[in-house]
Structure 1
């Protein structure tokens, strides 16, 4: 893929003094520079980013089904026999506080259903970032059902936390996030380029009357694999674009640029004001369920009876979702808050803040008043996590993960069948000539370079890896022998 330089003489697929290339072929190459450019980008990106995409697909598929694994593994902590008349929330919180040695909770999540436990979260300096010691309480008896670390505001238990961190960073911490950002950055490029190439191949076949459908008439091993690869990519195209876009919002480098853009366009998610001095609230985060927690690390002394009062007041106002989080004041001068945290459709995020001294609602945040961008962000993230539509959402994500993994495998199979040891150039299909990019019209070259630079600035890892691809292809082109062997 020497995108910006012409190939040395003798390079396969390039003009050579010793190779007689008919004028009509040269003209066709010049006219088809964009297709050749796409083909080399698609090939190199697929070969070099394929491992990252494969890991993301496998770990993402596991994460999609993590709720079922979690429910089975931690059945005692999460579930109880159906409770018809639960004890007051204050009694449940007090039982958890006694179990935790009198520590004050930083958040309480009342049982959302009759067969669920109540979660009482405590800060614990021995745990990692965004992790909390969570005591699970039986709402019917106030008995302690378990004591486990949970992660983020989604309350992921250890198994789901491990899978989540595998998908996010290979469990390598902050440095490992580069892998998932590379995968998300290249997924949309590969998917879009593949779709354009697939459409072009159909057009070419129809134009020459070789076929009337996308599936080749003459089927052999490689053409069958190519058809499976292209058809699957076309069917899953929108899903790939969606996962890439939502995944980039979690990334370290591109995610920061996305946040800056959202702020500039006033697309941020509004935050609940919990200060009692009238100060403005900071925008709320959207990724707490799959990343950082959004729970205060410390909390002053808490009266368990206040949980009954606060819960009743919130339920009488705008809070109606079964799953809610109740947070005591994080420091003096701040209010209690009650927030809807369920992400199932119709996902909501309404919240109220309550003054502990007066028992009055001081601020309210109605999800219906969110701007469209904030709502789409919340829904998109919930869908990416497999939470928005429950089991159908999870199964759809699993199917997409399997499809992506299969496409990566098919891509490597096609490359292997045309690998250099068999005497053909490195391309998935008819070899695309090097140097075609510079034989295009200057306006096309300038437009393509401008787009690549802009994308590289907004998606830094995409830009640096694209530059690496160009350097690699240039080196391969210079290293190639005149005989065409690599």
Structure 2
């Protein structure tokens, strides 16, 4: 996503102005034109979401925080009853307090079909307040970050932006590469020259920032792909084999339902979003063991506090506990038979396949969770670098564009130089089909613009 020296503005007398250079520059420009506005949105919302716990804890403090007591927490059934008394309907799940000063969260579906999160003091069952399910400030930011707020079609843009970001970084590094420089010439390579009033300053800022942040931007783009509509769903199925997230042999002889974990529990980790829930197989003679016994069983199994318990849906439903803390090794999903209270499936991060482990680790770092505050600050720095790159690219273009023109970089005089570049872009398009579709559109646009203005200089 960097740009160094172009044509007559090249730093140094030997700066390249070859057809290949022009071709790379032209497509670097096209990539920026397509995705920079989305990159700014993703960087701003992603940078904010890194501090989701801190922000939500502050904004929703009256709902999420309670006074520490010396008394024991009340049984989960009491908390669910209190939530239903305040908001009549059907209880879907309960999230246990992660710390002694955290509230419990009960998700209720009302008669009108609305899903509400009811916050309850675990020590006295006092209802603290209600929000729409996933209605916290940071959940809104997360939906904006994934573009899910704008519908499934807009959500597909994530894949296009991710793929083009990889191309931007690759072409940008190629443009930045200090060809023919001597040891003392570092301007625009590792240092920024000029003042903000000059275009040279913005060009160098763009180049140097991209050079230092490029690898991290590639990491963010690649680890953000699992949330894309087409590529993410396809790779999810490939990485996790039959029945998606469950390793082969883990659920032998356990009847499986058509219900998926992401729908039942909500907020499932990526590798398990499509994992199917088992069915209860115990005898119904004595009736269900109840949520209190189920939570006690989860505690005995050592599930990390703060886990969510999805309540059984129907006679064959199960109690499903899931927790995804910052520490990947403590990720856990346990399904209990609602009649016998015995575990049907007990799955942790250690049970994932190699591909799922790698992707989950990448996602954890992407979200600023793996290495504590240092992880958050590093990812925030990368987000700020993306904003700086986007802004500097816009300013640089505005200062250089010819009056009355879009300012597209000149096409190479020999169109054959495009073959190698197009081959690389086609490979990216095959890997990411939605990116490939956008490449076809941009190629058609390039042909139209080239014929309309065959040799218009960008100067």
Aligned equivalents of 1:393, 1:485: Cα separation in 2: 41
Partner of 2:209: 232
Gaps of 5+ in 2: 1-5, 8-13
Partner of 1:334: 317
2:336 is equivalent to residue 351 of structure 1: no
Aligned equivalents of 2:269, 2:336: Cα separation in 1: 27
2:139 is equivalent to residue 191 of structure 1: no
Alpha-carbon distance change, 107 to 475 in structure 1, aligned in 2, over 3 angstroms: same
Gaps of 5+ in 1: 1-11, 14-24, 152-156
Deviations 1:232-251 (A, max 9, x none): 11222222112211222212
Picking from 391, 401, 419, the partner of 1:419 is 401
Partner of 1:171: 149
2:300 is equivalent to residue 316 of structure 1: yes
Contact kept in structure 1, 2:188 and 2:203, CA below 8 Å: no
Contact kept in structure 2, 1:337 and 1:353, CA below 8 Å: yes
Alpha-carbon distance change, 242 to 123 in structure 1, aligned in 2, over 3 angstroms: farther
Partner of 1:409: 391
Deviations 1:111-167 (A, max 9, x none): 111110011112347567xxx32211101111111122222xxxxx34223222222
Deviations 1:25-84 (A, max 9, x none): 9xx87xx55444322221221133222212222222233334333222211110101133
Partner of 2:228: 251
Contact kept in structure 1, 2:120 and 2:127, CA below 8 Å: yes
Aligned equivalents of 1:272, 1:93: Cα separation in 2: 36
Tell me which of the two structures has the higher relative contact order, counting C-alpha pairs closer than 8 angstroms and 6 or more residues apart.
1
Q: How does 1:24-63 map to 2 (within 5 A)?
A: 34-63=20-49
Picking from 41, 52, 65, the partner of 1:79 is 65
Contact kept in structure 2, 1:136 and 1:146, CA below 8 Å: yes
Alpha-carbon distance change, 290 to 263 in structure 1, aligned in 2, over 3 angstroms: closer
Aligned equivalents of 1:305, 1:99: Cα separation in 2: 25
Alpha-carbon distance change, 274 to 369 in structure 1, aligned in 2, over 3 angstroms: closer
Alpha-carbon distance change, 163 to 423 in structure 1, aligned in 2, over 3 angstroms: closer
Alpha-carbon distance change, 335 to 179 in structure 1, aligned in 2, over 3 angstroms: closer
Aligned equivalents of 1:193, 1:461: Cα separation in 2: 20
**Partner of 2:91: helix, strand, or coil?**
coil
Partner of 2:138: 160
Aligned equivalents of 2:170, 2:458: Cα separation in 1: 31
Structure 1 stretch displaced more, 241-250 or 393-402:
393-402
2:98 is equivalent to residue 112 of structure 1: yes
2:358 is equivalent to residue 367 of structure 1: no
The structural deviation recorded for 1:272 is: 11
Alpha-carbon distance change, 211 to 370 in structure 1, aligned in 2, over 3 angstroms: closer
Contact kept in structure 1, 2:95 and 2:307, CA below 8 Å: yes
Aligned equivalents of 2:248, 2:108: Cα separation in 1: 22
The structural deviation recorded for 1:384 is: 2.7
Partner of 2:267: 288
The structural deviation recorded for 1:268 is: 4.8
Picking from 59, 81, 84, the partner of 1:97 is 84
Partner of 1:307: 291
Contact kept in structure 1, 2:188 and 2:204, CA below 8 Å: no
2:358 is equivalent to residue 376 of structure 1: yes
Aligned equivalents of 1:216, 1:48: Cα separation in 2: 28
Aligned equivalents of 2:77, 2:247: Cα separation in 1: 27
Contact kept in structure 2, 1:47 and 1:412, CA below 8 Å: no
Aligned equivalents of 2:207, 2:129: Cα separation in 1: 49
The structural deviation recorded for 1:366 is: 3.3
2:445 is equivalent to residue 458 of structure 1: no
**Partner of 2:292: helix, strand, or coil?**
helix
Aligned equivalents of 1:484, 1:77: Cα separation in 2: 61
Alpha-carbon distance change, 263 to 363 in structure 1, aligned in 2, over 3 angstroms: closer
Alpha-carbon distance change, 79 to 480 in structure 1, aligned in 2, over 3 angstroms: same
Contact kept in structure 2, 1:120 and 1:136, CA below 8 Å: yes
Alpha-carbon distance change, 455 to 295 in structure 1, aligned in 2, over 3 angstroms: closer
Aligned equivalents of 2:359, 2:190: Cα separation in 1: 38
